[in-house]
Amino acid sequence: MTGVVEPPEASRLAHPDVPAAQLDHVMVVLAGRAILNDISLEVIPGEFVAVLGSNGAGKSTLLKALLGLVRPVAGSIRVAGRSPVQARSDVGYCPQVRTLDRETPLRARDLVGMGLDGHRWGLGGMSRRERDAAIEQVLAQVDALAFAEAPAGRLSGGEQQRLAIAQALLTRPRLLLLDEPLSSLDVRSQREVVALVDRLRRQLHMAVLFVTHGINPLLAVIDRVCYLAGGRAAIGSVDEVIQSDVLSRLYGSPIEVIRAAGRIFVASDEETHE
Ligand SMILES: Nc1ncnc2c1ncn2[C@@H]1O[C@H](COP(=O)(O)OP(=O)(O)OP(=O)(O)O)[C@@H](O)[C@H]1O
Ligand SMILES: [Mg+2]
C-alpha cells in the first residue's frame, strides 16, 4: 500500500462504473472442504442481491471472502476494482447475530461511534467535530436520531439492527454486506429493515449483498439472487433462479418451488421453507 489515501468520494467519482464486487471462478476451502467452488458473480453499483442457501451453504463465507477475511485458493476477488484488503473502507459489514447485553451502558450514539475507532478514517484523521457530524449523519440516514441517546441494550431488535447498519455506513461504503439482518425480527421490523436498505442503496448508489433464509420479505426490492448449495451458485433474477428445475440441479436432489399468494416456498424431502 502507498501512503497516499484517496478520500472515498474522490475514488467514487473517478470510477463510477467499476463493479462494486467481482468474483471470478472463486474457490474457498475451509478445513479441507470446498465451501465455495467456482463462484463467479459481478455486482454493479446500487444493485441489491439476496444471498440464499441452507445452513452451512457458505453464505457467511462469501461475505468474509469479500472482506478479505478468508482467501480463495483459486480465482480472484475485486471490490470496487481493488483487492478486498485494499478496499476495506469501501465495504460496510453487519456480521451475523449481534445481540447486545441488555445492561450495556453504551448509548445508541456511542455504539455507532465505535465503528470509527481503529478505522483508518477514524479518530486519527478526524477532528471531534467531524466525528460527531459523521455519526449524526448515519444516525439520520437510518432514522435513529429519536433513540440516539437511549441505552443501546434496551432497544428493540429492529432498532439495534438499524444501529448496526448505521455503523456500517460510517465509511460511506460502495458495497454493504448484511449477514442475516432479518433473523430474530418480527414481520413488521423485517419490512422496515428491508425498506431502509432499499432506500439507502438508491440514495447512496451502494451495492448490497443481503444474506437471508427467507426471500419473501425481499421480493419487492431485489434485483438478483445468488443461491448457494454444495459450493455452487445459481445467479439471476428471482424468476430465473427460484425454479424447481434450477434448484433441483443445484442441490442435486428434487426440489419443488411453490408460488402462492405472492409468496414463494421451497420444498425438499427434508424441509419446506420460505
Ligand atoms: N473457519 C472455518 N474453518 C472450518 N470450517 C468453517 C470455517 N468457517 C465456516 N466453516 C464451515 O463452512 C461451511 C459454511 O459456513 P458458513 O458460515 O459460510 O455457512 P452459512 O451459509 O453462512 O450458514 P448459516 O445459514 O448457518 O449461517 C460450514 O460447514 C462451516 O462449518
Ligand atoms: Mg451464516
**CB contact at 8 A, 166 and 141:** yes
In the sheet where 232-236 sits, what is the strand order? 91-94, 175-179, 207-211, 48-52, 224-229, 232-236
pLDDT score, position 242: 97
pLDDT score, position 99: 74
pLDDT of residue 273 exceeding 80: no
Dig out the grid coordinates for 120 from the structure: 483508518
pLDDT mean over 14-30: 90
pLDDT of residue 258 exceeding 70: yes
**Mean pLDDT, the chain, whole residue set:** 90
- Over residues 176-189, the pLDDT tens digits come to 999 999 998 999 99
- Over residues 158-216, the pLDDT tens digits come to 999 999 999 999 989 999 999 999 998 999 999 999 999 999 999 999 999 999 999 99
pLDDT score, position 1: 40
DSSP one-letter code for 256: E
Distance CA 217, CA 143 (A): 20
Helix (H, G, I), strand (E, B) or coil at 24: strand
Q: Does 193 contact ligand 1 (Cβ within 6 A)?
A: no
Instruction: Judge: domain 18-273, CATH 3.50.50.60.
Output: no
- Over residues 100-150, the pLDDT tens digits come to 888 888 999 999 998 887 655 545 577 889 889 999 999 999 999 999 999
Question: What share of the chain in percent tops pLDDT 90?
Answer: 77
Q: Return the best residue to mutate from 26, 52, 60, 215 for the ligand 1 pocket (most ligand atoms within 8 A of CB).
A: 60
Residue 271 CA, ligand 2 centroid: distance in Å: 18
pTM of the model: 0.91
CA atoms within 13 A on the CB side of 66: 35
Ligand 1 atom with the shortest distance to the CA of 211: 22
pLDDT of residue 235 exceeding 60: yes
Q: Return the best residue to mutate from 37, 61, 228 for the ligand 1 pocket (most ligand atoms within 8 A of CB).
A: 61
Q: Whose CA is nearest to atom 10 of ligand 1?
A: 30
pLDDT score, position 90: 94
Q: Does 61 contact ligand 1 (Cβ within 6 A)?
A: yes
- Domain range summary for the chain, segments of one domain joined by +: 18-273
